[in-house]
C-alpha cells in the first residue's frame, strides 16, 4: 500500500528529505498536496487526534507521523532503510537530527528576526546572519559530517549499503551548493568522504530516476535553501 | 551501572532535558563535566569514532549517544520511560522533536544573527526577533502542545503515567516562565492541560527531590532560557 505523504506543494523544503529516501528505496507514496493542493493539506492536518505541528507527515491508518527525522526513523525500521542493530540505529538518527539542526539554521539565515516576515524586510539582519553562518557554522557542521562519514571505511555512512541518512546528506550538500555556491567551492576540497556519499547517492537507480522526473521540483526562493547572491561569499 | 552524562557545567541548557527524565525515573547517572570540568568534556568528546556534534551526550560502552531527543528515545526504550507500543513511541518522539524545535527558536531569540557572538552585540535584532516570537511563535507552539495534551484523557501526555516527554514539557514551561514571565501570564489561561502536565511533573517524587537539591542549577543568562526584561511583554 502506498504511503500518503503530505507536504506543501511548490517547494522541496523539509518534505524532500522524506521523498528522497522513499525514492531511493522504491517505496510507493502519494504526494497528496501536489495532487490536491495546499488547502487539502490544511484540512487534512486538522483531522488528527494527535496532531502534527507542521508538514511533512505521513498519514497512516488514521495516524500522522510527523517530524522529518521521526518519519525517517519509522521508514528505516519498517521499510529497511537502515540497519536494525541498536547502536547503528541511534547513531544514524543522531546524524539525521544534526542535519535537521543545520537545516533549521539555514532557514534562520534568510529569516533571522522573523520567520513569519519577508526576507526583504530583514535583509540587513540576514547579511549579518549569513556571514556568521558561512564563516563559523558551515565549517563546523560540515567537518562534523565529514568526521561522521570517515567513521565508516565503506562508501556510505554505515556498512556497505546506503541508508536514509545518506540520502539526507545528499540533499544537504545539494541545498548548500544551491544557496552558497561560492562558499561550498571553498569548503568542499576538505570534505572528500561527505562529497563521496553525495555522489554515490546521486548514482542510486531510484535517485537518478527521481532527479530526472518531474516529481523533483527545482530549488526556489520559497523553500529552505534559497539562492540570494548577496548572502554568499567564498 | 550509572550512566555517564556529559554536558557543559554551569548551565541547565539542553542537558537539563536529559537530567529531568533520569531524575524522574530514578536512573543513576554521573554528571561528568560538573565533576571534572569543561576541559574534560572537550577532551572526552574527541575520543569517539562516531563523534557527537555537541553535548549533551551519554557515554556508554565506548559509544556516545547524542542529541537530546535521541538520548530520550534511547532511555525511553532501555529504562522504560515511555510505552513500548510503536504508535505511542513515534508520537512521543514527535512531540519531543517539536519541543526541540521550539527550544532552538528560543535560543535564536537572543542570538538571531550570530550564535557565536554576544547578546550585547545583537540587542536590536533580538528585540525584533523576540516580538515575533512572543506574538506568533509562542502561541502557535504552545497551542500545539495543549492540543497534544488534550489528545489524552488522563493527566499526562499519554496513558496514565508520566513519560520522558512530560518531563520535557515541564522544563519548557519552566524555561518560558523564566524568560517571558509577562507573556506566559497572558498565555497560560488557555493552556490548562499543558500546565496540568507541568504541575504533575513537579509533584513526581524524583523531580521534587531533584528541584530541592543542589544538582538543579538555577536558570541564568548563559543558558538557553535567558531573562532579558527588555525582550518580554504581555
Per residue in B177-229, pLDDT (tens digit) is 999 999 999 999 999 999 999 999 999 999 999 999 999 999 999 999 999 99
Backbone angles phi, psi at B126, to 5 degrees: -65, -35
pLDDT digits (tens, 9 = 90+) for B65-90: 999 999 999 999 999 999 989 999 99
CB contact under 8 A, A115 and B98: no
pLDDT of B172 > 90? The answer is yes
pLDDT digits (tens, 9 = 90+) for A2-14: 999 999 999 999 9
Looking at the partner chain, which of A51, A74, A104 has a beta carbon nearest the beta carbon of B90? A74
Question: Is B172 an 8 Å CB contact of chain A?
Answer: no
Q: Which fold has domain A86-204?
A: Glutathione S-transferase Yfyf (Class Pi); Chain A, domain 2 (1.20.1050)
Q: Which of B67, B102, B44 is nearest to A89 (CA)?
A: B67
The architecture in CATH of the region B3-78 reads 3-Layer(aba) Sandwich (3.40)
Per-residue model confidence (pLDDT) at position A132: 95
Question: Is A157 an 8 Å CB contact of chain B?
Answer: no
Domain ranges in chain A are 3-78, 86-204
What grid cell was written down for B166? 512530560
Per-residue model confidence (pLDDT) at position A114: 81
Q: How close, in Å, is residue A55 to chain B by CA atoms?
A: 12
Looking at the partner chain, which of A69, A105, A113 has a beta carbon nearest the beta carbon of B128? A113
Give A74's contacts in chain B (Cβ within 8 Å): 90
Per-residue model confidence (pLDDT) at position B84: 87
Cβ contacts from A onto B, under 8 A:
109
Question: Is B147 an 8 Å CB contact of chain A?
Answer: yes
Per-residue model confidence (pLDDT) at position A145: 98
pLDDT digits (tens, 9 = 90+) for A29-39: 999 999 999 99
Q: What is the mean pLDDT of each successive set of 10 residues along chain A, which is 234 residues long?
A: 95 98 97 97 97 97 96 95 92 98 96 86 93 97 98 94 97 98 98 98 98 97 96 97
CB contact under 8 A, A132 and B116: yes
pLDDT of B176 > 90? The answer is yes
CB contact under 8 A, A132 and B147: no
Q: How far is CA A62 from CA A3, A58, A59, B143, in A?
A: 12, 10, 6, 22
Looking at the partner chain, which of A73, A97, A144 has a beta carbon nearest the beta carbon of B51? A144
Please report the ipTM that was assigned to this predicted complex. Answer: 0.97
- CA–CA separation, B178 and B192 (whole Å): 19
Q: Search chain B and give the residue with CA nearest A142.
A: B53
Amino acid at each position: 500500500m502506498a504511503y500518503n505523504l503530505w507536504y506543501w506543494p511548490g517547494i522541496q523544503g523539509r518534505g524532500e528529505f522524506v521523498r528522497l529516501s522513499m525514492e531511493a528505496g522504491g517505496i510507493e507514496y502519494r504526494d497528496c498536496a501536489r495532487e490536491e493542493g495546499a488547502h487539502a493539506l490544511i484540512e487534512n492536518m486538522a483531522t488528527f487526534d494527535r496532531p502534527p505541528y507542521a508538514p511533512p507527515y505521513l498519514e497512516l491508518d488514521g495516524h500522522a507521523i510527523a517530524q522529518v527525522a521521526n518519519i525517517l526513523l519509522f521508514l528505516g525500521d519498517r521499510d529497511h532503510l537502515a540497519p536494525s542493530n541498536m547502536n547503528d540505529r541511534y547513531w544514524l538518527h543522531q546524524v539525521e537530527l544534526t542535519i535537521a539542526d543545520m537545516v533549521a539554521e539555514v532557514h534562520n539565515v534568510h529569516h533571522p528576526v522573523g520567520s513569519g516576515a519577508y526576507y526583504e524586510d530583514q535583509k540587513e539582519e540576514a547579511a549579518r546572519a549569513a556571514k556568521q553562518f558561512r564563516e563559523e557554522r558551515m565549517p563546523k557542521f560540515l567537518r562534523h559530517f565529514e568526521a561522521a562519514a570517515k567513521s565508516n571505511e565503506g562508501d556510505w555512512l554505515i556498512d556497505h549499503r546506503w541508508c536514509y541518512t545518506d540520502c539526507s546528506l545528499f540533499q544537504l550538500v545539494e541545498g548548500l551548493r544551491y544557496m552558497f555556491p561560492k562558499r561550498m567551492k571553498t569548503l568542499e576540497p576538505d570534505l572528500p568522504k561527505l562529497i563521496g556519499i553525495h555522489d554515490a547517492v546521486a548514482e542510486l537507480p531510484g535517485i537518478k530516476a527521481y532527479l530526472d522526473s518531474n516529481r523533483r521540483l527545482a530549488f526556489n526562493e520559497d523553500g529552505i535553501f534559497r539562492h540570494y547572491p548577496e548572502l554568499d561569499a567564498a
